[in-house]
Amino acid sequence: MPFADGLQRVLRPDGTFILNIKEKAVRGERHTYVLELILAMRQAGWLWTEEFVWHKKNSYPGKWPNRFRDSWERLLQFNKQRKFAMYQEAVMVPVGDWAERRLAKLSDTDQIRDESGVESGFGKRVSNWVGRDMAYPTNVLHLATECSNRGHSAAFPEQLPDWFIRLFTAEDDIVLDPFVGSGSTLAAAQRQGRRAIGIDVNQEYCEIARQRIGLPTEKKGETQWRLI
């Protein structure tokens, strides 16, 4: 929460904070710290706008006495206000082979907004997709984990921050990663034409990130814990 307070101070009003966080098991049951954190963030004034799931396509199999290995991680979206910058067209995907068969003959329900039967607030109008080549994605990202050696124990694939950078920022916007690690976020921001700030308390990680984005090595005596 102290970090979240700092982020709330520097995030612009229409900006977005994405938190990649993984649950764990303690004494044979799921820990509730992620749920507790969400509640604490809301109490501090954040809006919990959306939750994305990173499905790790190449997750190693595993079995424990009462569970299997997780192959997913949470990506929580927090905002300061209900109206925020979002560029949905930047992450659209091909509509898929299903469209030709599914849209060939539309029912009466397909041509109106069909509200969810469980009153979730979601609905669909299938006729909106007639003639379209591209569609909006779901909130599940199917990406392989980082397989190359980045010198970091928990490096995520560059495609992960890349997707959120395209969705929530425009060219020349500033992207901040307060736990920069091996520099995946900075590399993605650099490639997408954004300005980026990375911070980490680990001197070795800062150097790895510097090399990754083509910055010169810091001289002896310079501040090592911050990468800007």
Interval 26-57: pLDDT, tens = 988 999 999 999 999 999 999 999 999 999 99
What is the reported pLDDT for 225? 41
Looking at the domain assignment, is residue 202 inside a domain?
yes
Indicate the number of domains in the chain. 1
Looking at the domain assignment, is residue 211 inside a domain?
yes
Looking at the domain assignment, is residue 53 inside a domain?
yes
Looking at the domain assignment, is residue 14 inside a domain?
yes
Task: Pick from 17-21, 55-59, 117-121, 217-221 the range whose average pLDDT is largest.
Answer: 17-21
Per-residue DSSP letters for 159-192?
HHHHHHHHHH--TT-EEEESS-TTSHHHHHHHHT
The Cα 95–Cα 132 span in angstroms is 7
Looking at the domain assignment, is residue 123 inside a domain?
no
Break the chain down into helix, strand, coil percent, rounded to 5. 30, 25, 50
What is the reported pLDDT for 9? 95
Q: How far is CA 35 from the centre of its chain?
A: 17
204 or 44, which is more confident: 44
What is the reported pLDDT for 115? 82
pLDDT averaged over every residue in the chain: 87
Residue 130 DSSP class: T
What mean pLDDT is predicted for residues 149-167?
A: 80
Looking at the domain assignment, is residue 125 inside a domain?
no
Which residue range is the domain that position 207 belongs to? 10-99+133-218
* CATH number of domain containing 75: 3.40.50.150
The Cα 117–Cα 11 span in angstroms is 37
203 or 79, which is more confident: 79
Question: What SS3 string covers 5-29?
Answer: HHHHHHCCCCCEEEEEECCCEECCE
The pLDDT tens digits for 72-98 are 999 999 999 999 999 999 999 998 888
pLDDT range class, residue 14, cuts 50, 70, 90 = very high
The Cα 212–Cα 35 span in angstroms is 34
